[in-house]
Amino acid sequence: MREWFAALERPVELLVAVGPEQTPPAGARDVDFGAEMVKVCEGLAELGDGVTWRVEDEPDGFPRFPAVSIRPDGRDAGVRYDGLPWGYELGSLVGAILEAGRAEPSLRSESLAELEMLDRDLVLDVFVTPT
């Protein structure tokens, strides 16, 4: 990951949104999910100068906590990871950082042209599971 992050073409900020503590589900270990998210983002930022992080408590626009907004050049591009990316899920967060750090999107020109034809904003939720 150090090599990947060193090759970022623009800086990426990770805005960690922590919120109110929630009661863990029955059978779950006592885990401070917000603190764990902070540790994950802090660790990722240590892997490359192009990745920074900061924490906000209950920022506007975040319905679930913890979450991290992946921000190319520090601007909100609408890419967010909700929940704690442990295990296989960490790959999704790293992939989002790499894509945000590109000067140009990795989508084909045909896909970009189709997206330009949309007549309204869309919100897409993508769910990740290792199974």
DSSP states of 76-111: --SEEEES---GGGHHHHHHHHHHHT-SS-SS-HHH
pLDDT at 22: 60
pLDDT of residue 32: 83
pTM for the complete prediction?
A: 0.87
Of all helices (H) and strands (E), which one includes residue 50? Answer: none
Query: Among the CATH numbers 3.30.465.10, 3.30.70.360, 3.40.30.10, 3.40.50.300, which is that of 2-116?
Result: 3.40.30.10
Q: What is the pLDDT of residue 95?
A: 95
What is the per-residue pLDDT for 126?
Answer: 82
- pLDDT at site 4: 96
Predicted pLDDT of residue 130: 62
Secondary structure class of 36 (helix, strand, coil): helix
Task: State the DSSP H helix or E strand holding residue 126, giving kind and residue range, or none if neither.
Answer: none
Residue ranges per structural domain of the chain = 2-116
What per-residue confidence (pLDDT) applies to 31? 78
Beta-bridge partner residues of 56: 17
pLDDT value of position 87:
82
Q: What is the DSSP letter of 120?
A: S
Supply the pLDDT for residue 75. 96
Low-confidence ranges of the chain (pLDDT < 50): none
Q: 43 — phi, psi (to 5°)?
A: -65, -40
